[in-house]
Structure 1
Amino acid sequence: MIILVDEREKKPYNFPAMETETALLNYGDYAVKGLGYYDVNPNTGKEEFYPEFAVERKSLDDLARSVGTDRNRFEAEIDRAQQADNFAVVIEATMTDAYKGRYYSKIHPNAVVGTVKKWPFKYGTLDFKWAEDREGGKQETLRLLDKWYIHTATDLF
């Protein structure tokens, strides 16, 4: 399994035991090479990878911004990801951190947590995973990619 890391990812995870490559992903920050397809994005004119499944990494600050001031951009990414079999957002924090407002945005904690709870019902392939911290986020990302990769490989036979 070769992990694709979106070339725009600002703080990519380091997976020492795994081979990684950078690519321009249409949605998400992490995917598996070979499980998806490349196509030219009609909006940008650039060739992008459209993964069968992807993981989006979010710090708590980034999540609060993404459901607040950057909500339209984030929802557009989630809309694009609806063509995937699975799309998960791994949050490098706990739900308690969100409820206590441990982020820089002024958005109310109930709006952050409420969005995380509601959107999986609105967007069928979306799931949110609370991962406690950055290391937990890295482990959860690897676990999800591995699980989906194995599931896809066993579905072929």
Structure 2
Amino acid sequence: MSRHPLPAELPASAITAIIDTREQMPLVLPGLRTEPATLPTGDYSVKGLESVIAIERKSLPDLLACVGRERERFEREIDRLRAYPVRALVVEADWSDIERGDWRSKITPKQAGASLVSWQVKGLPCILAGTPKRAGQLVASMLRRAAVHRYRELRALTAGLVTEATE
């Protein structure tokens, strides 16, 4: 029996998060190396998996703009995100922030909440992270887990090839 050419586990040091160059205040992604690059969709991905993983990040004011005046543009962004096997919208607010409606926008709490629910129904996971720090922790965890999952899939797919090649 031959040894598999890929290590059993993907080392954390092999995962590099890609942060879109348009991110003005990038999240801190604990435990991951980062590189700036222009992503076609989303704000965060993993190097080598840019066509597989796309995570969009929004502050509460950004979210309200996407519910209101930027709705058409953001709906197109959602359509692009839905094409990715691993995708999410991470919002730097929690549900109570949405319900409270403590903002100067004309968007009502009901409109903001209904939009989040609508996007979920369309297939875009919407994660209310609360704070930028927590958003960074969640994004880092999602990127890491998605990369490990893809690595394990690759390893399983190539296991049969390795066995056949040595026989």
Specify the code of the residue in structure 2 equivalent to 1:35. Answer: L
The answer to whether the 8 A contact 1:8-1:24 is kept is yes
TM-score of the aligned structures, taking structure 1 as reference length: 0.84
Specify the code of the residue in structure 2 equivalent to 1:58. Answer: K
Residues 1:150 and 2:148 aligned together:
yes
Q: Deviations over 1:118-150 (max 9, x none)?
A: 21222x3x1100111111111111111112111
TM-superposed deviation, 1:152: 1.0
Bigger Rg, structure 1 or 2: 2
Q: Tell me how far apart the structure 2 counterparts of residues 103 and 136 of structure 1 sit (CA, whole Å).
A: 21
Change (3 A) 1:149 1:7: same
Specify the code of the residue in structure 1 equivalent to 2:16. Answer: I
TM-superposed deviation, 1:18: 2.1
Change (3 A) 1:16 1:64: same
Q: Specify the alignment match of 2:46 in structure 1.
A: 32
Report 1 or 2 for greater relative contact order, CA contacts < 8 Å, sequence distance ≥ 6. Answer: 2
Q: Specify the alignment match of 1:46 in structure 2.
A: none
The answer to whether the 8 A contact 1:60-1:93 is kept is yes
Match 1:22 to one of 33, 36, 43: 36
Specify the code of the residue in structure 2 equivalent to 1:23. Answer: A
TM-superposed deviation, 1:16: 5.6
RMSD, aligned CA: 1.3
Identity across aligned pairs (percent)? Answer: 38
Can you give the 5+ residue segments of structure 2 that lack an aligned partner in the other structure?
1-14, 157-167
Aligned residues: 141
The answer to whether the 8 A contact 2:16-2:34 is kept is yes
Specify the code of the residue in structure 1 equivalent to 2:40. Answer: N
Larger relative helix fraction: 2
Q: Specify the alignment match of 2:82 in structure 1.
A: 82
Q: Specify the alignment match of 1:10 in structure 2.
A: 24
SS in 1 for 2:36: strand
Q: Tell me how far apart the structure 2 counterparts of residues 138 and 128 of structure 1 sit (CA, whole Å).
A: 15
Change (3 A) 1:29 1:86: same
Q: Tell me how far apart the structure 1 counterparts of residues 59 and 128 of structure 2 sit (CA, whole Å).
A: 10
The answer to whether the 8 A contact 1:26-1:80 is kept is no
Q: Tell me how far apart the structure 2 counterparts of residues 154 and 60 of structure 1 sit (CA, whole Å).
A: 36
Q: Tell me how far apart the structure 2 counterparts of residues 30 and 5 of structure 1 sit (CA, whole Å).
A: 5
TM-superposed deviation, 1:17: 3.6
Bigger mean CA deviation after superposition, 126-135 or 113-122: 113-122
Q: Specify the alignment match of 2:162 in structure 1.
A: none
Can you give the 5+ residue segments of structure 1 that lack an aligned partner in the other structure?
37-50
SS in 2 for 1:98: helix
The answer to whether the 8 A contact 2:20-2:36 is kept is yes
